[in-house]
Amino acid sequence: AATAPGKKITARLKRTLPVRGPQAPTLSELMRWYCLNTNTHGCRRIVVSRGRLRRLLWILLTLSAVGLILWQCAELLMNYYSASVSVTVQFQKLPFPAVTICNINPYKYSAMKEYLSELDKETKKALETFYGFSEGKSKVRRSVDDWNSTGSDFFQQIPLLKVEDFSRTATDLHSGQKRKIEGSVFHKDSSIVNSGDSNDIIGFQLCDANNRSECALYTFSSGVNAIQEWYKLHYMNIMAQIPLETKEKLSYSADDLLLTCFFDGLSCDKRHFTRFHHPLHGNCYTFNSGKNGTILSTSTGGSEYGLQVVLYIDEADYNPFLVTSTGAKIIVHDQNEYPFIEDIGTEIETAAATSIGMHFTRSRKLSKPYSDCTETGADIPVENLYNKSYSLQICLHSCFQKAMVDSCGCAQYAQPLPAGAEYCNYKKNPNWMYCYYRLHEKFVKEQLGCQQICKDACSFKEWALTTSIAQWPSTVSEDWMLRVLSWDKGQKLNKKLNKTDLANLMVFYKDLNERFISENPANTLVILLSNFGGQLGLWMSCSVVCVIEIVEVFFIDSLSIVLRRQWQKAKKWWRGRQRAGAPERQGHHNPACLDEDLPTFTTALRLPLPQDGPLPRTPPPNYSTLRLEAAFTEQLPDTLELGRR
Amino acid sequence: MNLKKYLVRALHRLQKGPGYTYKELLVWYCDNTNTHGPKRIIKEGPKKKLIWFFLTLLFASLVFWQWGILINTYLSYNVTSSLSIGFKTMKFPAVTVCNANPFKYSEVKHLLKELDRLIEAALERILQPTPGNGSENLSPPLNLELWNQIPLVLIDEHDKDNPIILDIFETNQTAVGNETAMGNETKKKYKLAVKLCSHQGSDNCTYRNFSSAAQAVTEWYILQSTSILSKVPLHERIRMGYQAEDMILACLYGAEPCNYKNFTQIYHPDHGNCYIFNWGMDEEALNSSNPGAEFGLKLILDISQQDYIPYLSSAAGARLMLHQQKSFPFLKDQGIYAMAGTETSIGVLVDELERMGYPYSDCTVNGSDVPVKNLYSQYNTSYSIQACLRSCFQNHMVEICGCGHYMFPLPEGVSYCNNEDNPGWAYCYSSLRSSIKQRQICIDSCKETCNDTQYKMTISMADWPSEASEDWIFHILSYERDMSTNVTLDRNGIIKLNIYFQEYNYRTISESAATTIVWLLSSLGGQFGFWMGGSVLCLIEFGEIIIDSLWITIINVISWCKGLKQRRARAQYPDAPPTVSELVEAHTNLGFQHEAVGAVPGAEALPPEPGTPPPNYDSLRVQPPGPDSDADTE
């Protein structure tokens, strides 16, 4: 029978496969068929094993393998969203960051005189009353009556109080009267709660303008803090009423602040700096802000190739109450970032050369679903009030400002204005300070929900700074240096500059290695599937085909068998009922049972196909030849197959 | 005929194959392969057959697609990083200390005397522009030769479009005076610039502008002094610098005392004599196994600020740097200052980055594959990116200007630039220095090292010595250094340094390959297994089947060729051709109409004997099988 080995194989197949899935008469037959013919290992062992113990063992093993697969695959799925970190270092030309430089003192004190003289007078009086401090010996101590005549707005608005902690009475600076404190006491410094013996605590009281009984007392362990905080409150009130253009004029110009500038071995001047008005620090100047479209870059590291500036800090023109330290503040940031100088600035000492070495690191996190960060901030329900790219700090500040406008009706001075709002001042919003303090308290205690709404930015740039200080100018070079710098400053200044008015600043890249820390998805779909495949293959040598098989056998086929049996049962029952009434009919039930009477050619053609008859595509055989062949079937099974084909 | 039989037998022997036709082969393959899909194709009913056929195709293509992705992933050579932080016993970093000022002014005064007088005179003229005072009164006349090599000029920018250039010592100095006097009222419009010419007296000149006179003076002074000092031999320069015993007053490492002899002297062009502690060149590097200031290095330095060169360095202090053993200290890049009169405490965290080399990242292990000659190898130091960049610059400088710059080591057979021998060097140098192209070439040709170690420093400062302790400390230190009872030190020169490991002294980021060959194989296996339950053996099986089918093709082609030949032969010598009825009878089988179609492709493999008529259907049934029967049964 070498004629058709392929057909022989098919025949053999058919013999070994007496029943196919849905044709199996019973479920157990189906299971047996499945176990014998499935591609997964283990199941076959159950069927072919002899002996009950062995079979049980195989059942257990197979089940545990299935369990293991499920467990491991679940683990794989659960760890799908994990990220791996990669750090790359690239040596390249680096973009120089924006460097924002501010004088610590925001406005020239001499220019601010007309706005602040009242407040300063009051502050000096307070100092005199509480601490017996008077600036000039010539000043005559004024009596309490004098104060009233000057019309101290400031004390009426927010009275400074000396508090005796335990009796909860306070001496009012303004009236000199003792009064009972109502409302809650907020300690700015919590330590004083423990130290019982410090009975003279200074603070100020903020009251709700609409409801006078609603008051909050803020106390400080030290008068330095109290006076400064009190001064700042009033100062912000005053500044809020001054338009921006005036404020810019009151502050330092680029010529005032910058004496010399040197970048990347070349001279630079004020044109390289962009003015930026900061509400608390006045005019700040940003080097390399990218405003004119170009961002400078450095192609050599080292101090001589960075930014070198000499700053002129006019210490004599400082506001004595607002700022108590001298120098400049700088911040290194990206061109798109808002410089939060008050939060993360670095202070620069005068009469010294501050050398700041930078090391650049760029980081990128994966956003959802790997971590809870935001790419652009567009998905955060807080409006970005700053005209800069999103950062957590911007979000928090904007969120607070928003809450401030919503609940107090005006905007806080230190942050930008939302559309349609204006800065608080107590002429228009007499209540704002109380409101602000209450809100700030809430903000710090995370009750405003800002901390929950705001998310980190996914990518950020960081310049790690190494700051060191040297004496500058050195004793021997001081003389000529100051002379030449005075000349630089312009001959207007007849006096020679003092070295404590100068600060030398060097900002440079330590090296041009950019570190890029990025998160990458540890898994991709391909890898996940590979791992699945590995697990399935390891425990059971299974594949998707097996899964389809299982679906096929356990769901479709089993269901069809069950349904068929139900159908047959129903039919039987129906027949039983019919038989009771009508005579039995058999024609439908056994269509292949042809022995009863020989059908003619035509009837044979009409007959439905026998159950394991020829495949539908083969033509129906001639009836007579079929019968004839049937006689040979016993001897020549192969030819039978041939005939059927 | 014989040949074909032989071939058939040969095929049998070779393959022990499962069939003679493609179909048999495929069926056999599908039945016996270990991949999961194909078996289903032949085992199921006709509809399911079709479904399974497409499923198998789909899975196979999925497998190949995903394999492509995996191989691509592998070839991108990704790395994963692991971070470890903690404390371990580590080599204490090499500590380089220098004075911000390179030479003692008292020692170099005789060399720089002319220069200082020039600049003083020039400043005098610039700052007090009333003619006929000061400078003329100086007894010896000024040596204008130095000045004329690289002059400082004033640029009058009252008229933006055509600035007037005024030489300070030229004849029209009175005019300068008047102009400046006028400038008193108006805004300052003068700028100081350095005039650089390619040759002395030539017209090819550039003016290096400075917004600040201080900067201009410093730059000019550096250029001039560089030219003067480059002529001084090295041992003389070392002698003029600060000596170890003068500079390092006290040293304590952990509990062990050390002194200036523990420091290795190195001549640094920027800072003169520098001293390196724990460089590890001669002896083993010291380990530190405890965190905290008590176990670190404590130094007391004297920078003697009175002896500074006034115009050269305006910042006063010590320059120090922490670096790896056997590496050259590039103080301008990585160095920090320590201020006189203070105690500077430096907590150190070693930040290491260990990277994989090629092909994972483009870094170099020891610099041997970098196309730049490392000039710093004469110091016996290891490769670093700074060394490469500087060497690259110096090589360019030698190439273009014909002499080496004083700040960098010299290649062999080249001398340092000076005004006498290379009059145009300053022009050449400053154009080279600001050339973006040159920098880019250097950046492109240098590679970073694979192991990048940084010392992260937490710097804090306090005043030292305190007012109360000042007297006795100065007294002791002066006594120890100079053997005198007089105090020879003061606040402006004395520096205390503490360098120690922090509680966590290392942070190591090390890379490992994210995709190894093992990973690739297991992922490939996983994919193949997942979709088709296949393995390498399945691939081999498939290859086998392809070989088999090739054999079958060969046989078919041969037999077809034979048939063609025979047909031609028949055409040449026509035998009794079969009648039409015979032909019809051969091909039609009554009642089996469908097979008539199938008989056509079988006609290619013609029966071997051309003369014999094709067999009748009935006779076929009992005919013993032969190689010719294929055509008929189809």
Q: So what's the ipTM on this one?
A: 0.78
Please, which pLDDT band fits residue A626 given cuts at 50, 70 and 90?
Answer: very low
> Which residue in A465, A530, A633 has the most chain B C-beta atoms within 10 A of its own C-beta, making it the best mutation to test that interface?
A530
pLDDT at B308 over 50: yes
Query: What is the arithmetic mean of pLDDT over B62-80?
Result: 89
- Distance, in angstroms, between B368 CA and closest chain A CA? 17
Query: Residue B360's closest chain A neighbor by CA?
Result: A88
Single pTM value for the model:
0.77
Q: Which A positions 626-645 lie with beta carbon below 8 A of chain B?
A: 639, 642
pLDDT at A568 over 60: yes
Helix axes B425-433, B213-229, angle to 10 degrees: 120
* Range name among A158-172, A398-412, B515-529 with the lowest pLDDT average: A158-172
Query: What is the arithmetic mean of pLDDT over A400-413?
Result: 88
Q: Which range has highest mean pLDDT (A34-38, A212-216, B154-158, B159-163)?
A: A34-38
* pLDDT reported for residue A331: 93
CATH number of A373-455: 1.10.287.820
Query: What is the arithmetic mean of pLDDT over A613-632?
Result: 47
Q: Which residues of B touch A355 (CB under 8 A)?
A: 336-337
- Chain-chain contact of B80 with A85 (C-beta, under 8 angstroms): yes
> How crowded is residue A201: how many other Cβ atoms within 10 Å of its Cβ?
23
* pLDDT reported for residue A43: 80
Amino acid found at B493: G
Q: Which A positions 39-78 lie with beta carbon below 8 A of chain B?
A: 39
- Chain-chain contact of B316 with A531 (C-beta, under 8 angstroms): no
What angle (nearest 5°) sits at the alpha carbon of residue A212, between those of residues A210 and A217? 120
Average pLDDT, chain A: 77
Residues of chain A with CATH 2.60.470.10: 87-106+251-371+458-521
- Chain-chain contact of A6 with B28 (C-beta, under 8 angstroms): yes
Q: Which A positions 186-215 lie with beta carbon below 8 A of chain B?
A: none
Average pLDDT, chain B: 79
- Chain-chain contact of A87 with B511 (C-beta, under 8 angstroms): yes
pLDDT at B275 over 50: yes
- Chain-chain contact of A267 with B439 (C-beta, under 8 angstroms): no
Q: Domain residue spans in chain B?
A: 17-79+515-560, 80-101+243-355+452-513, 105-125+145-169+188-240, 362-449
| Level-2 CATH architecture, domain B80-101+243-355+452-513 | Sandwich (2.60)
List strand residue ranges (DSSP E) for B532-619, in order: none
- Chain-chain contact of A536 with B530 (C-beta, under 8 angstroms): yes
Q: What is the interface size between A and B, counted as CB pairs within 8 Å?
A: 317
- Distance, in angstroms, between A415 CA and closest chain B CA? 32
Exposure string of A533-543, with b = 16+ CB inside 10 Å and e = fewer, is bbbbbbbbbbb
> In whole angstroms, what is the distance from residue B64 CA to residue B59 CA?
9
- Chain-chain contact of A543 with B21 (C-beta, under 8 angstroms): no
More confident residue, B279 or A162: B279
Query: What is the arithmetic mean of pLDDT over A412-426?
Result: 83
Q: Are A173 and A129 in contact (CB under 8 A)?
A: yes
Query: Residue B317's closest chain A neighbor by CA?
Result: A470
- Distance, in angstroms, between B556 CA and closest chain A CA? 16
- Distance, in angstroms, between A50 CA and closest chain B CA? 25
> In whole angstroms, what is the distance from residue A189 CA to residue A177 CA?
25
* pLDDT reported for residue A1: 41
HSE (side-chain half, CA atoms, 13 Å) at A414: 15
* pLDDT reported for residue A544: 84
Number of helices (H), then strands (E), belonging to chain A: the values are: 21, 23
Exposure string of B222-241, with b = 16+ CB inside 10 Å and e = fewer, is bbbbbbbbbeeeeeebbebb
* pLDDT reported for residue A9: 66
Query: What is the arithmetic mean of pLDDT over A538-552?
Result: 83
Please, which pLDDT band fits residue A196 given cuts at 50, 70 and 90?
Answer: very low
Eight-class DSSP state of A251: B
Q: Which of A269, A536, A639 sits opposite B529 (nearest CB)?
A: A536
Which tokens belong to B46? 């006709």
* pLDDT reported for residue B178: 39
Q: Which residues of A touch B21 (CB under 8 A)?
A: 6
> In whole angstroms, what is the distance from residue B42 CA to residue B53 CA?
9
Please, which pLDDT band fits residue B25 given cuts at 50, 70 and 90?
Answer: confident
- Chain-chain contact of A89 with B39 (C-beta, under 8 angstroms): no
- Of all residues in chain A, what percent carry a pLDDT higher than 90? 11
- Chain-chain contact of B183 with A491 (C-beta, under 8 angstroms): yes
A606 torsion bin: left (phi>0), alpha (psi -120 to 50), beta (else): alpha
CATH class of the region A87-106+251-371+458-521 = mainly beta
B74 torsion bin: left (phi>0), alpha (psi -120 to 50), beta (else): alpha
> How crowded is residue A644: how many other Cβ atoms within 10 Å of its Cβ?
17
Check whether the bond before A473 is cis (ω within 30° of 0): yes
Query: What is the arithmetic mean of pLDDT over A305-325?
Result: 88
Q: Are B211 and A269 in contact (CB under 8 A)?
A: yes
Query: What is the arithmetic mean of pLDDT over A34-52?
Result: 80
Query: What is the arithmetic mean of pLDDT over B8-15?
Result: 64
Query: Which pLDDT tens digit goes with each residue over B431-451?
Result: 888 888 888 888 888 888 888
Q: Are A478 and B308 in contact (CB under 8 A)?
A: no
More confident residue, A379 or B626: A379
Structure-token match 């990116």, residue found: B385
- Chain-chain contact of A471 with B317 (C-beta, under 8 angstroms): yes
> How crowded is residue B22: how many other Cβ atoms within 10 Å of its Cβ?
15
Query: Which pLDDT tens digit goes with each residue over A582-600?
Result: 554 444 444 444 444 454 4
Query: What is the arithmetic mean of pLDDT over A328-339?
Result: 91
* pLDDT reported for residue B71: 92
CATH class of the region B362-449 = mainly alpha
Query: What is the arithmetic mean of pLDDT over A425-449?
Result: 83
Query: What is the arithmetic mean of pLDDT over B379-388?
Result: 88
pLDDT at B15 over 80: no
* pLDDT reported for residue A492: 52
β-strand A373-374 against A456-457: which pairing, if any? Answer: parallel
Query: What is the arithmetic mean of pLDDT over B148-159?
Result: 73
Q: Which range has highest mean pLDDT (A354-358, B109-113, B604-608)?
A: A354-358
- Distance, in angstroms, between A385 CA and closest chain B CA? 35
A605 close contact with B: CB closer than 8 A: no
Please, which pLDDT band fits residue B587 given cuts at 50, 70 and 90?
Answer: low
- Of all residues in chain A, what percent carry a pLDDT higher than 70? 74
Alpha helices in A367-468 (DSSP H): 392-408, 432-444, 450-453
- Chain-chain contact of B314 with A481 (C-beta, under 8 angstroms): yes
Of B219, B141, B255, B125, nearest in space to B180 by CA: B125
pLDDT at A417 over 90: no
* pLDDT reported for residue A577: 86
- Chain-chain contact of A477 with B311 (C-beta, under 8 angstroms): yes
pLDDT at A485 over 80: yes
> In whole angstroms, what is the distance from residue A159 CA to residue A164 CA?
15
Which tokens belong to B194? 């350095």
* Range name among A198-212, A407-421, A606-620 with the lowest pLDDT average: A606-620
> Which residue in B112, B314, B396, B429 has the most chain A C-beta atoms within 10 A of its own C-beta, making it the best mutation to test that interface?
B314
